[in-house]
Amino acid sequence: MNGRPLALITGASSGVGEAIARALAPTHDLILGGRDADALSALGVELPGARPWPVELTEVGARDVAGIDRLDVLVHSAGIARLGAIEGLAASVWRETYEVNVVAVAELTRLLLPALRAAQGHVVLINSGAGLRANPEWAAYAASKFALRAFADALRLEEDEHGVRVTSVYPGRVDTPMQRTIRAQEGGGYKPDLYLHADSVAGAVRQAIMAPPDAHVTEITLRPAPR
């Protein structure tokens, strides 16, 4: 690492997380978090100033973030979606969804708060349109994203005195491997032209991160444009 701002991105092995890593690479050194070690290593070779951080986010502890004393950007992009009607959602689905989408986010943020405060850094949480409204068969995912929204709002108020900025991003459906899996669960055809591009979400995230010190971008909502 060469003294440039440092960003840690979860879910960096594919989709929106990978796109954010590519968008920040020209100006930031990167820690690429995720479970796919091979994909992270390949991306780390491709992006100067990047290193892979293979990790199971639900098991992260202090040892995993040891040595990160100053962190300018923390992007939470990792997440899972398990769809189904409430009558068929076992408790295990709810627990897994909350563990990945909420608890892991809260714990990693807590562990990195000293480093974020030292840099007066920026936390970006990739939420979802499901964090603003719930639809049938999306109960577990939407509930976790509503909880993520509440976490971000509380964090923003608590950390304002330390100069830490917090941005929630609410994209509509994005053309990613995760979205293709979701569409398959729903049993419908996949039409990528009806979805946002991951690069578009990454561009909005970069704009929020690069905003001047007097501008705190608290929320971003993106929807696919008609085309």
Residues belonging to the active site: 141
Tokens standing for 117?
A: 């405060």
Q: Distance between CA 141 and CA 128 in Å, rounded? A: 9
Q: Distance between CA 175 and CA 49 in Å, rounded? A: 27
Q: Distance between CA 59 and CA 157 in Å, rounded? A: 27
Tokens standing for 193?
A: 């032209």
Q: Which of 3, 122, 10 is nearest to 65 (CA)?
A: 10
Q: Distance between CA 133 and CA 1 in Å, rounded? A: 41
